Amino acid sequence: MSQVLIQTHGLSKVYDRGSEQIVAVDKVDFELRAGDFVSFVGPSGSGKTTLLHLLGCLDTPSSGDLNVAGTPIFQNGKSLSERQLTGIRRDLFGYVFQKFYLIPTLTVKENILLPFAFHKRAENALDVLELAQRLGLSHRLTHLPKELSGGEMQRVAIARAMINQPKIILADEPTGNLDSKRSTEIADILADLNKSAGLTIILVTHNPQLAAKAGRIIELRDGRIV
């Protein structure tokens, strides 16, 4: 049995909007194991992105428990310190968003290596070359983002997310800004990374073709798993 990487119990997120309370995530129980590829689907406002942010320690739950790689992140209303959470995000997660968030004045190689600017781990140029080759970016390492297609920019974002060798990739609508052809390319890349490299992936998407690449599809509605 593969290692449990994420486990939640009763995970909830409630926002106050004036006198009204908005329940974005409602008592979610969820388990993710190493090597899983999970897609969260559902209508807009169903809580997909909020749940992804909670699982990736980018947001704090209102209640419930979250364990990541055996470490209690949120439990009994208590949370790790911000410094500890920063270490968890850096060491365990890679993040891919709908917007590419590439630095326009940096080359592809420099953008991929950007995570190394925020901590002291020595960069490994071989990692960059291997990633570039795997993602079809070998010929683009010295190019600036403005010289790339949308699909290439998202591949750079995926490479940047992978450079620290995280245990889990979190992808929030990674094909939302791409046409159907580029979307298919990214879907195939994520599926290949999961199958051939054993990368664990949690995906939020409205794209049924992308969702279908996952081994598990979980529908959310009104903040609950249905």
Alpha carbons 171 and 175: distance in angstroms, whole number: 9
At 25 the pLDDT is 97
Question: Model confidence at 126, in pLDDT bands (50, 70, 90)?
Answer: low
**Average confidence (pLDDT) over 2-13:** 96
Residue 197's pLDDT is 87
pLDDT value at residue 121: 60
Mean pLDDT (whole number) for 25-29? 97
Give the fold, CATH level 3, of 4-225.
Rossmann fold (3.40.50)
Question: What's the mean pLDDT in 162-190?
Answer: 92
- Please calculate the CA angle 49-51-57 and round it to the nearest 5 degrees: 105
Compute the distance between CA of residue 55 and CA of residue 85 in angstroms, rounded to an integer.
12
Per-residue model confidence as pLDDT tens digits over 143-167: 999 999 999 999 999 999 999 889 9
Q: According to the model, what pLDDT value does residue 178 have?
A: 92
Q: How far is the C-alpha of 77 from the C-alpha of 11, rounded, in Å?
A: 11
C-alpha to C-alpha distance for 120 and 217, rounded to whole angstroms: 37
31 phi, psi to nearest 5 deg:
-135, 135
125: pLDDT strictly greater than 50:
no
Which pTM was predicted? 0.91
**pLDDT, average across residues 108-126:** 74
Question: Looking at the predicted structure, is the pLDDT value of residue 183 above 70?
Answer: yes
Confidence of residue 76 (pLDDT cuts 50, 70, 90): confident
Tens digits of residue pLDDT in 100-113:
999 999 999 999 99
Summarize the confidence of residues 161-176 as an average pLDDT: 93
